[in-house]
Amino acid sequence: MTTVNSDMVIYNQLAQTAYLERLQDNLNVFNQASNGAIRYVNNVIQGDFDQKSFYRVGGGIEHRDVNSTAKVTPKKIGAGEMVGIKTPYKYGPYSSTEEAFKRRARSPEEFAEIIGYDLADALVAGRLQYGLTALKAAITSNPDMIAKGSIATDGRKALTKGMRKFGDKFGRISLWVMNSDTYFDIVDEALTNQVYGESELVIYGGLPGTLGKPVLVTDMVGDNDAFGLQAGALTVTESQAPGFRAYDINDEENLAIGMRAEGTFNLDILGYSWDASKGANPTLALLGADANWQKYATSNKMTAGTLLDLSGTP
């Protein structure tokens, strides 16, 4: 039996339903687990950039002489711009003969469901990869927010070096992001320095190994990198309706079905703007270039977070 266009509608619906179910489950868990530091949202955004203007004031109170009649000099306020960048992506195409599923006593519709689930997983991982790449580049463009240390040498003090970058606002750090080796180095260090009390309770220097902060462990982070992020550090917005298409492949020996997808998401990094002069539709390499990002926040305490350089280089 030849697959016709009406069948493709069924395949599209099956794939999209599987995609949406898996994606929603992933996003709900991720947004909650990241303590608000990395957020995945949906919002249609026109154009290549998400540009927002704002005022710079940064004022403070001063002494007022109640016995003076002197003139006062007005102070100027400034303006700045926040720029988020739109990033396009594609997925597939993948194809399969109908025979491949029929020989296994399965419906070809199962192919659509498999692709839908895989696209959702790939999109969550891909967004994180692009987001972390941009995050590292943005923070690197601001050397004041780079803390250098080593877990082997400094132990958990390597984390407090990062927290120091926030000064009296260190409590804003809500999430550590690091790879698995770094995470287990911290756990190992905590176990080595454990203090045993009565009833065989283990106290890690009075604090958990990661100083009471949750950790996102992903090997997308480099061996010598870790992040200390505050809430809203990275926002990934699905800024256009994604496209998902199933289509006939009728010019091969066996009847086959093809599937592919495409979409777009915006990256916004707290306190940093994409340099619009560097163009639109950036590749992963361009997102990872620190020269393409610039700080717009007046205070470092209002930026995404700190980058921990754990190479041990002073």
Instruction: Identify which of 233, 235, 225 has the alpha carbon closest to the alpha carbon of residue 302.
Output: 233
Joined tokens for residue 221 = 């982070």
State yes or no: cis peptide before 88, omega within 30 of 0: no
For residues 113 and 20, give the distance between their C-alpha atoms in angstroms, rounded to a whole number.
11
Task: Collect the ranges in the chain with pLDDT lower than 70.
Answer: 1-33, 43-61, 75-83, 105, 108, 190-209, 313-314
Query: What are the domain boundaries of the chain?
Result: 5-52+79-309
Geometric angle at alpha carbon 35, from 31 and 41, rounded to 5°: 30
pTM listed for this prediction: 0.77
- Helices 109-140 and 5-33: crossing angle in degrees, nearest 10, is 40
pLDDT given for residue 134 in this prediction:
95
Q: How many alpha carbons lie under 13 Å from residue 184 in its C-beta half-sphere? A: 6
For residues 241 and 261, give the distance between their C-alpha atoms in angstroms, rounded to a whole number.
11
pLDDT given for residue 140 in this prediction:
96
pLDDT given for residue 99 in this prediction:
83
Strand ranges inside the chain, DSSP E: 38-42, 49-56, 78-97, 146-148, 173-178, 195-196, 202-203, 215-217, 225-230, 234-238, 243-249, 256-269, 272-274, 293-295, 305-309
Joined tokens for residue 236 = 């990934």
* Class of residue 2 by CB neighbours under 10 A (exposed 0-12, middle 13-18, buried 19+): exposed
DSSP designation for 281: S
With the C-alpha atoms ordered 117, 122, 127, 128, is the resulting torsion angle positive or negative?
positive
The DSSP element (H or E) to which 199 belongs, if any, is none
